Structure 1
């Protein structure tokens, strides 16, 4: 995944200790007051830096949010990678793909509600971190389908790219924070049913 390699990661002085301090303080501040309601001036006062000094490291509040969002998405990706590595077949990987995204997304929502709002803003406004995350998920779906076809688990008549996009569209309500928050109470069961539907459609 490349979510952390965004514009904010290379702007300004190369003092990563200060950058990390700003991001850590921003996470704490956003957790209490929310991303949308916080200004760079608010953040500067809470850290004890000047607003101008923060702008030496980040061009905007969004760039700070990008780093935080990328970190959250990277955590979800790590969980997904671990789950898929343990899956013995493409069929099981489909199940784990749906279930892990649902569970990880819900846990982030309930554990860090304010930070979840940053992920929602990222999706709504198409920040690079969200765009890259979605692209990586589509590539992951494509790889699993190809594995399943090679092993004889999935049908081969439908064009691979068409099938991959269809599966991603079924998966998206669980991967997109804007859509997931609508069905948090049923996300786990929804994931099971959606995965079962996809697997039936992929039967040779």
Structure 2
């Protein structure tokens, strides 16, 4: 696919959220059944009962619809991760839960539904804005956890903070990036625990 990157939820015409939501729901079902790559905007229009031109009043391309579906999936991962670390009091425990929850949520959303997985794969390979924004928010969460750990004395302070954040994100990347996740399925049971322990040892003061 070679469509040009677009913002996460671009719209044209009237801001009718009900119609936009209807299109997204129908598109999610259609993509799940037939696959993202094989579906055209004309296919969606026929399935929903709208004209192709009417859909273009709300979304400028198929990718724009895919972006919004991708945003919804990524937001769900973030909600699950936030809930998992909310009750942890110590930074090391929060980091362990971050590894475990993010891996489990990614598996559930991107692997169990092989058709919708195509959207995630396209988003990752073509660097859609939805993916870039997600990675930036993930980095911000890691930075917040590391700063908290440094302030509490649980983590070392010699390594530049940005370097530590990027290193941890790279360690987690095979279990967060949908393109890489499909090649890491045989290690998802143990990897979050083992990698979190390894990272925590490297962060010890």
The bucket for the TM-score relative to the shorter chain is: over 0.9
Higher share of residues assigned helix: 1
Gaps of 5+ in 1: 1-5
Shift, 1:162, TM fit: 1.2
User: Match of 2:188, SS?
Assistant: helix
4+ residue runs over 6 A deviation: none
CA distance in 2 between partners of 1:92 and 1:99 (Å): 11
Q: Who is 2:113 aligned against?
A: 112
Shift, 1:8, TM fit: 2.5
Instruction: Supply the RMSD in Å over aligned alpha carbons.
Output: 1.2
Shift, 1:16, TM fit: 1.1
- Post-superposition CA distance 1:19-62 (Å, at most 9, x none): 11111110010000000111111111111111111101100000
Alignment TM-score, normalising by the size of structure 1:
0.93
- Post-superposition CA distance 1:107-131 (Å, at most 9, x none): 1134322112211211111111100
Gaps of 5+ in 2: 1-6
Do the aligned residues in 1 keep the contact of 2:85 with 2:97 (CA within 8 Å)? yes
Alignment of 1:40-51 (within 5 A): 40-51=41-52
Do the aligned residues in 1 keep the contact of 2:110 with 2:120 (CA within 8 Å)? no
Q: Who is 2:179 aligned against?
A: 178
- Post-superposition CA distance 1:121-143 (Å, at most 9, x none): 11111111100000111111111
Alignment TM-score, normalising by the size of structure 2:
0.93
Do the aligned residues in 2 keep the contact of 1:99 with 1:188 (CA within 8 Å)? no
Shift, 1:10, TM fit: 4.1
